[in-house]
């Protein structure tokens, strides 16, 4: 065994660059494949891919940073001039797929500066290769890779080079990559500020200290001014994450924290925060804590998440946000390996050095284990998407001309974003921008494309989001008024396609109607009757709940099931007339064989394949019914 291990070590030492090159290519191919699989199965539904694709598309065609997906110029969200440097790559293939492939390439290539940093510090090619491979195997890198598209991977790539040239004492190249990293996003300043602390610890000359202190501070404050200028609300909208105790500005938020010390401290020491940090550190076996001074690179980003209203939770470490911590974690990891190789003393080190072979085996097994079981890769790889639904979505989407304006539900928004005018169904339904920072009135569009299963997540948000409280009861009626100007021209299971009445040539397909109850009507049930004819299910219901319930209907096919709002999100029970019956129509494929009505409460969550899904608690309102019994 020792002879075999020695041969592997010698090969890795001699061919470390080749091995890393092959591993990088394999990573890029796998992650690009998984990302494209998600994309072609309409599984990107958190808006970011659509936002960036439209911004890239419009900027390339002269309308800089313009976007309608988020209802405003992107400079009102983040200051991201790095987009101009990425446009040549996007020019060749102006689609969301380009951005997904680019993201996979950048994250894969980030292993190389990690390898070079480690080789300079540890002076061991095998260990340097291991650290670089740990990056490629890290499940949180995978999560960031397949959860939408973001610019943070590009920032991480530049930050590793910043540290490399910092170690090399190459000030000019340090400055170049420092500036490139800043251009990615304003909050990258919080990471780069840590180089001031490192420069002090390493007794660098004054230029290193002043540059790494002054430029991030000036840049961050200037970027906030630019963002506030373009913002409709006139402020940095992400301050909303930190105003959970009050305050809308930096000063106001800090005052609210100071005047509520107990709540503030309790928020910081919440057990979920510690558990989340432990989860993030598991794939690196907590080794970065052996050289914690380099975790200073992650300190301010850590506070950035910790001080938000939700703190550290599943969302924080299952999306792109973990990339904010990764430069600090991996640089600290490299220095931790150096301590171990030099056999420096620390708590438990005696037992580790005494049983080094066994510890090494546990180390390798743990890395591989977490790479498999904490990563979304396996879930996407083996995910079977209902072929009938995917084909139907393709047919619905193909019916919309490329130049047409439209409102698209979240699963359609990314493919629809390579155009000048496309709006999210959520924002159009709510009638306001993100966090309802401003009101939004949908202009006339050519089409409205809805996946009612995903629209259910929008309705869940309508029911629970605090920022919608002031207008929650009016949203269904307002949306109904919008739809009055459109004809429903295509309906299939959970999919609906509406066309502007000014251009529609087809008759409107009916979704619901009401009629007066017959004289002497004495039924008490919620579901009065059902009729299934020629693929159309008609459900007849009456108002019989005093509370404001939310309902869904679950349909079962041969190989899948799907949920959709019982009332299509336009006619909730509280608005049903007491003296009338309500009839809803559902247009079903031939493989749908049964259904059931539930009332529900719930929240939205990120699924294992990194898309947004409603997480619901269901209460049965009817028994499971076979469609054949309703004919």
CA distances from 143 to 205, 323, 363, 607 (A): 39, 10, 22, 11
**In 534-593, beta strands by DSSP E:** 536-541, 551-556, 561-565, 580-587
At 135-153, the pLDDT tens digits run 999 999 999 999 999 999 9
pLDDT for 613 equals 66
Q: Which helix (H) or strand (E) holds 57?
A: helix 48-60
Angle, to 10 degrees, between the axis of helix 16-40 and the axis of helix 125-137? Answer: 0
Q: Which helix (H) or strand (E) holds 294?
A: none
User: Residue 255 corresponds to which tokens in the numbers above?
Assistant: 């005052």
Does the structure show a pLDDT above 70 at 609?
no
Name the 3-class secondary structure at 499.
strand
User: Residue 271 corresponds to which tokens in the numbers above?
Assistant: 């057990």
Other beta carbons within 10 Å of 399: 14
Once rounded to an integer, what is the mean pLDDT over residues 427-443? 89
CA distances from 576 to 173, 193, 456, 580 (A): 68, 58, 20, 7
pLDDT for 1 equals 46
Three-class secondary structure assignment of 358-404: HHHHHHHHHHHHHHHHCCCHHHHHHCCCCHHHHHHHHHHHHCCCCCC
Does the structure show a pLDDT above 70 at 221?
yes
Other beta carbons within 10 Å of 339: 15
Tell me the C-alpha distance between 97 and 49, whole Å: 10
Tell me the C-alpha distance between 609 and 607, whole Å: 5
Closest CA to 607 of 488, 454, 451, 448: 454
At 586-608, the pLDDT tens digits run 999 999 999 999 988 877 666 66
Other beta carbons within 10 Å of 33: 15
Length of the chain: 631
Once rounded to an integer, what is the mean pLDDT over residues 88-99? 95
Mean pLDDT (the chain, rounded): 90
Which single residue is written with the structure tokens 């909050």? 187
pLDDT for 5 equals 59
Name the pLDDT band for 546 (thresholds 50, 70, 90): low
More confident call, 12 vs 89: 89
User: Residue 533 corresponds to which tokens in the numbers above?
Assistant: 């004819």
Q: Which segment of 8-12, 274-278, 397-401, 436-440 scores lowest on mean pLDDT?
A: 8-12
What letters, b where the CB count within 10 A reaches 16 and e where it falls short, cover 274-302?
eebbebbbbbbbebbebbeebbbbbbbbb
Once rounded to an integer, what is the mean pLDDT over residues 469-478? 88
Does the structure show a pLDDT above 70 at 469?
yes
Tell me the C-alpha distance between 182 and 409, whole Å: 33
Strand pairing category for 447-451 and 406-408: parallel
More confident call, 449 vs 251: 449
Other beta carbons within 10 Å of 481: 11
Collect all residues with Cβ–Cβ distance below 8 Å to 142 and sequence separation of at least 6: 31, 371, 375, 376, 377
Collect all residues with Cβ–Cβ distance below 8 Å to 65 and sequence separation of at least 6: 55, 58, 59, 73, 74, 75, 80, 83
What letters, b where the CB count within 10 A reaches 16 and e where it falls short, cover 126-149?
bbbbbbbbbbbbbbbbbbbbbbbb
CA distances from 61 to 66, 91, 422 (A): 10, 10, 16
pLDDT for 72 equals 85
Tell me the C-alpha distance between 292 and 301, whole Å: 15
Does the structure show a pLDDT above 80 at 6?
no
pLDDT for 19 equals 93
pLDDT for 608 equals 64
pLDDT for 165 equals 98
Name the 3-class secondary structure at 522.
coil
User: Residue 355 corresponds to which tokens in the numbers above?
Assistant: 């049983």
Backbone angles phi, psi at 67, to 5 degrees: -160, 145
Name the 3-class secondary structure at 621.
coil
Name the 3-class secondary structure at 617.
strand
In DSSP notation, 577-598 reads -TTEEEEEEEE--TT--EEEEE
In DSSP notation, 281-293 reads HGGGTTGGGGGGG
Backbone angles phi, psi at 481, to 5 degrees: -65, -40
Name the pLDDT band for 611 (thresholds 50, 70, 90): low
Tell me the C-alpha distance between 24 and 187, whole Å: 28
Closest CA to 277 of 264, 286, 265: 286
More confident call, 394 vs 559: 394
Does the structure show a pLDDT above 70 at 547?
no
Query: Please, where are the H alpha helices in 61-203?
Result: 83-92, 96-109, 111-122, 125-137, 139-146, 152-167, 171-182, 189-192, 194-201
Do the beta carbons of residue 431 and residue 471 sit within 8 Å? yes
Query: Please, where are the H alpha helices in 431-488?
Result: 452-464, 475-483
Which single residue is written with the structure tokens 């079903």? 588
Name the 3-class secondary structure at 353.
helix
Do the beta carbons of residue 201 and residue 231 sit within 8 Å? no
At 272-308, the pLDDT tens digits run 888 888 889 999 999 999 999 999 999 999 999 888 8
Residue 246 φ/ψ region, left for φ over 0, alpha for ψ in the -120 to 50 degree band, beta for the rest: left
pLDDT for 618 equals 72
Other beta carbons within 10 Å of 176: 15
Chain centroid to Cα 456, Å, comes to 18
Closest CA to 437 of 425, 427, 424: 427
Name the 3-class secondary structure at 249.
coil
Name the 3-class secondary structure at 348.
coil
Backbone angles phi, psi at 65, to 5 degrees: 60, 15
Tell me the C-alpha distance between 244 and 312, whole Å: 15
Once rounded to an integer, what is the mean pLDDT over residues 181-199? 96
């Amino acid at each position: 065994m020792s002879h075999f291990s020695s041969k592997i070590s010698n090969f890795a030492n001699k061919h470390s660059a080749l091995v890393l090159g092959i591993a990088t290519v394999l990573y890029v191919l796998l992650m690009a494949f998984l990302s494209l699989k998600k994309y072609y199965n309409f599984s990107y539904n958190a808006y970011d891919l659509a936002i960036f694709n439209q911004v890239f598309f419009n900027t390339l065609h002269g309308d800089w940073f313009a976007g309608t997906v988020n209802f405003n110029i992107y400079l009102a969200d983040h200051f991201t001039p790095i987009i101009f440097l990425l446009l040549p790559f996007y020019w060749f293939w102006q689609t969301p797929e380009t951005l997904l492939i680019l993201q996979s390439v950048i994250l894969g290539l980030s292993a190389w500066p990690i390898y070079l940093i480690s080789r300079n510090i540890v002076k061991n090619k095998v260990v340097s290769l291991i650290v670089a491979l740990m990056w490629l195997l890290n499940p949180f890198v995978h999560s960031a890779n397949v959860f939408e598209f973001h610019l943070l991977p590009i920032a991480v790539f530049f930050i590793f080079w910043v540290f490399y040239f910092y170690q090399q004492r190459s000030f000019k190249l340090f400055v170049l990559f420092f500036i490139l990293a800043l251009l990615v996003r304003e909050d990258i300043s919080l990471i780069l500020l840590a180089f001031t602390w490192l420069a002090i610890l390493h007794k660098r000359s004054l230029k290193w200290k002043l540059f790494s202190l002054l430029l991030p501070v000036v840049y961050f404050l200037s970027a906030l001014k630019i963002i506030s200028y373009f913002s409709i609300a006139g402020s940095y909208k992400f301050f909303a994450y930190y105003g959970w105790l009050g305050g809308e500005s930096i000063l106001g938020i800090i005052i609210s924290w100071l005047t509520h010390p107990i709540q503030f401290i309790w928020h910081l020491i919440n057990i979920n925060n510690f558990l989340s940090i432990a989860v993030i550190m598991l794939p690196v076996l907590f080794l970065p804590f052996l050289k914690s001074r380099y975790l200073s690179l992650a300190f301010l980003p850590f506070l950035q998440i910790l001080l938000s209203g939700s703190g550290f939770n599943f969302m924080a470490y299952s999306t792109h946000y973990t990339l904010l911590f990764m430069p600090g974690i991996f640089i600290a990891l490299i220095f931790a390996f150096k301590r171990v190789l030099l056999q420096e003393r620390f708590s438990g080190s005696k037992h580790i050095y005494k049983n080094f072979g066994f510890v090494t085996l546990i180390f390798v097994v743990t890395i591989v284990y977490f790479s498999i079981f904490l990563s979304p890769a396996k879930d996407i790889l083996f995910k079977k998407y209902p072929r009938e639904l995917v084909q139907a979505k393709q047919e619905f989407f193909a019916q919309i001309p490329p130049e047409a304006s439209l409102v698209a539900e979240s699963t359609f928004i990314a493919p629809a974003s390579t155009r000048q005018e496309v709006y999210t169904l959520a924002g159009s339904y709510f009638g306001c921008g993100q966090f309802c920072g401003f009101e939004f009135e949908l202009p006339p569009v050519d089409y409205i494309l809805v996946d009612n299963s995903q629209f259910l997540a929008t309705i869940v948000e309508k029911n629970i989001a605090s920022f919608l409280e002031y207008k929650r009861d009016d949203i269904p009626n307002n949306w109904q008024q919008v739809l009055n100007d459109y004809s429903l021209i295509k309906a299939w299971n959970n999919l609906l396609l509406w066309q502007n009445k000014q251009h529609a040539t087809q008759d409107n397909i009916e979704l619901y109607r009401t009629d007066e109850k017959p004289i002497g009507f004495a039924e008490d049930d919620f579901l009065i009757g059902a009729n299934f004819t020629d693929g159309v299910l008609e459900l007849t219901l009456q108002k019989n709940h005093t509370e404001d319930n939310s309902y869904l209907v679950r349909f079962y096919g041969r190989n899948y099931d799907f949920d959709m709002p019982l009332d299509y999100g336009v006619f909730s029970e509280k608005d049903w007339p007491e003296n009338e019956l309500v009839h809803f129509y559902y247009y079903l494929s031939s493989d749908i064989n049964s259904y059931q009505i539930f009332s529900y409460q719930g929240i939205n969550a990120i699924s294992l394949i990194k898309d947004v899904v409603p997480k619901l608690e269901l209460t049965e309102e009817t028994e499971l019914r076979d469609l054949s019994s309703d004919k």
